[in-house]
A and B are shown apart, each in its own frame.
Chain A
Amino acid sequence: MRILVISLLRLGDVLIASPALHGLRRKYPSAKIDLLVNQNFISLKSILPDVDELIPFDRDGLQDGLAEASCPLFESLDYLDEIINKLKSNQYDLVVNFTQNKLSGYLTSLIGAKEQIGLSLSANGQPSYSSSWFRYLNDYFAADIADRFHFTDIFYLGSGLPTGTNKFVFNESPVGKAEALNFFSSVGYASGPKVVVQALTSDIKKTLSRSKWVDALTQFQSFESDAHIFLLGAPNEAAELSLLQQELKDKGVRSDLAILSLDGALALLNVSDLLITGDTSIKHLASGTPISIFEIAIGSSDYKKTGVYKPGSLILKSNEPCSPCQHSAACHRESHLCASQIPSELIALAASKFLHHDWLALQVLAEEYSDCANLLKTEWAKFGLWMARHLTDRGTQREISDQLSRLAWKFLLEKEHLKPLAAYGSESLKLKEAFESDWHPDNQLRIKMSLEHIELTTLSSETRINKILSAISSKIKLFGSFDGVDFIDSELVKEIIKVESDLGLGKILSEKFNPKSASDFYQIRQLQNSLNDVFSHQQIKLKLIRSLRSQITENA
């Protein structure tokens, strides 16, 4: 069997798919698995044990031909033909597209495998997904909905892989090991905790200022005087990191520059104790090592989608309402507030407590600094989803409702609710177990009341959505056609917006129609489909709530 996985975005996006690659390898142990990546990631082969061949996508070659006015258009077309014909000649049985953009959609469809998972586009731009998870990624993710899943989970579950085997797996190469050994001997490391700091990211909005790093690491060193700080970076970051190193030295903080390749970075992470990082590919690489990971999520970093996946990791997130901001837009505030408002002493204290896995102290810190930042602990729940739980919000009504909501989406997307013996009981039991440590026997009454309240609000939403669906169906039956008829009157618009607001759906429903003009057949059908999805979601959530309540009552 031959499988092609397409991952044509950034390095972090390739690494974040590692559990799905590992899962595919476990499901198809004798298959040849190829990975199509951008040309400059071709040497990832040494660290990806589940991939047999990395195939380069020559994006530069194609773009150079297109950008030159003197170059005939058909040269690029011919080159693209070559690339596609070469891929087609491999006669893939399965193509899995983790890129989820139009370019990859057309490419997936042109390669023409027997089976395709992920976005595939026809010539007129019609999408197909072959997976509810990838359709969800397309339809819901771009909107700012509350129920967001980690990309790792979406890639994993969307590939049809069984719950429970999603972990990051990377190979430490001999070259990388040698690089790390050379590094340690050159810096004269003897003993003490090894703390790796990835101070720079590829996006200025996600990067703390140099002065913030200097303050934070100076304070950290005062708490952890025997710790060794290694400033990790790529060769093109050496100059910037040298400046940071000099400023630390001026403050009496010793640090060493660790300018390493990806292989060398992996080897360093494998033997170190703590990584402090922004939203970087190094963070995802570290998830496949024993190192403790402390992520500082600012700017456009959306921890719900791309947070550090490894369970037991720590995420520090700004409380600024604009965070996370839009990925490619410049910061719209007068200064980089989401970064500057995080006190450097919080970074230092959190890193110190986390180095010693003192979660009680971290909880105290979280409460003390809750006005400016959140501290979250990552977990992987038995019901098959990654979670990042606020240290100050554990076991609250909001948290229970959020997790029920996500579990209900999982049910819907995996069509579990359509099975004759849908696993409401066992899945709600897993949810109960996930929260059990926070649900003391004394809290039973509070939890029951929370569940009652969640049930009431869910019922109310379900009723509202049912009314909207009935109103639209009645109009269709009455008028019989869509010409010139205003199916979505102002009352319905209000109801739809209320549903979006109550359920944190962004503009998922209201973007399907234009409130200022009559909607056409396609728009109404799109709206009905989305409403049906949301309605089913609320119904599933109700069943999970009732199942959970009965389990708590049984154990009372």
Chain B
Amino acid sequence: MNSLRAEYQLVDAMRRLEQAAEKLIQTRGYTNEAKKIRLLTELIKEQIKNENSMHSTRQTW
């Protein structure tokens, strides 16, 4: 995470996504749309935790 601002934006995006997923599930049930939103939420969680860092010591050309 390079800056607090970036982290704040990601946390905010995650919150909006989770709310969107809940609303979708309440109105339309467990659909593919809900899965996609949950996928995007996971993407952000990985970025926030820096868990799934793409940083590798090896560049591939």
Asked whether A and B interact, the reply is yes
A interface residues with partner B (beta carbon < 8 Å): 8-12, 38, 40-44, 59, 62-63, 66-69, 73, 76-77, 80-81, 84, 101-103, 106-107, 109-110, 121-125, 175, 200-202, 233-237, 261-263, 265, 280-282, 328
Contact A69 B9 (CB under 8 A): yes
Is chain B's interface secondary structure helix, strand, loop, or mixed overall?
helix
Is chain A's interface secondary structure helix, strand, loop, or mixed overall?
helix
A201 to B31, CA, bound (A): 42
Among A42, A62, A106, A235, the residue within 8 A (CB) of B35 is: A106
With A8-B52, A63-B43: A262-B60 Cβ-Cβ less than 8 Å: yes
Range for the number of chain B residues in contact with chain A: 35 or more
With A76-B40, A84-B36: A201-B57 Cβ-Cβ less than 8 Å: yes
User: How many Cβ-Cβ contacts under 8 Å join chain A to chain B?
Assistant: 130
Among A175, A200, A234, the residue within 8 A (CB) of B59 is: A234
With A73-B20, A328-B49: A110-B57 Cβ-Cβ less than 8 Å: no
Contact B31 A123 (CB under 8 A): yes
- List 15 extra interface pairs beyond A80-B36, A262-B59, CB under 8 A: A40-B60, A42-B60, A66-B10, A73-B17, A76-B40, A102-B42, A103-B46, A123-B30, A202-B53, A261-B61, A262-B61, A265-B58, A281-B57, A328-B50, A328-B51
Residues of chain B within 8 A of A262, CB atoms compared: 58-61
Q: Which 9 A-B pairs have the closest CB atoms?
A: A123-B30, A103-B42, A106-B39, A43-B60, A11-B56, A123-B34, A66-B13, A102-B42, A123-B35
Residues of chain B within 8 A of A9, CB atoms compared: 52
A265 to B37, CA, bound (A): 40
Contact B61 A123 (CB under 8 A): no
How does the 8 Å CB contact mask read for B1-41 relative to A, with 1 for contact and 0 for none? 00000100110110011001000010000111011111110
Between-chain CB contacts (< 8 Å), 15 pairs: A11-B58, A41-B56, A41-B60, A59-B52, A67-B13, A73-B13, A77-B40, A101-B52, A103-B39, A103-B46, A107-B39, A201-B57, A233-B57, A262-B60, A265-B58
Contact A106 B9 (CB under 8 A): no
Q: Which residue of the partner chain A has the closest CB to B38?
A: A106
Q: Which residue of the partner chain A has the closest CB to B34?
A: A123
Q: Which residue of the partner chain A has the closest CB to B12?
A: A69
**Smallest CB–CB gap between A418 and chain B, Å?**
33
Residues of chain A within 8 A of B43, CB atoms compared: 59, 62-63, 66, 103
Contact A123 B32 (CB under 8 A): yes
A103 to B42, CA, bound (A): 5
**Smallest CB–CB gap between B19 and chain A, Å?**
10
Residues of chain B within 8 A of A80, CB atoms compared: 36, 39-40
Contact B35 A234 (CB under 8 A): no
Contact A102 B38 (CB under 8 A): yes
A281 to B34, CA, bound (A): 35
A43 to B50, CA, bound (A): 23
With A66-B10, A66-B17, A101-B42: A236-B35 Cβ-Cβ less than 8 Å: no
A282 to B56, CA, bound (A): 11
Residues of chain A within 8 A of B36, CB atoms compared: 77, 80-81, 84, 106, 110
A265 to B58, CA, bound (A): 9
Residues of chain A within 8 A of B53, CB atoms compared: 10, 202
Among A43, A62, A73, the residue within 8 A (CB) of B16 is: A73
Contact B57 A200 (CB under 8 A): yes
Contact B39 A10 (CB under 8 A): no
Among A101, A106, A107: residue with most chain B CB under 10 A: A106
A340 to B56, CA, bound (A): 24
Residues of chain B within 8 A of A202, CB atoms compared: 53, 55-57
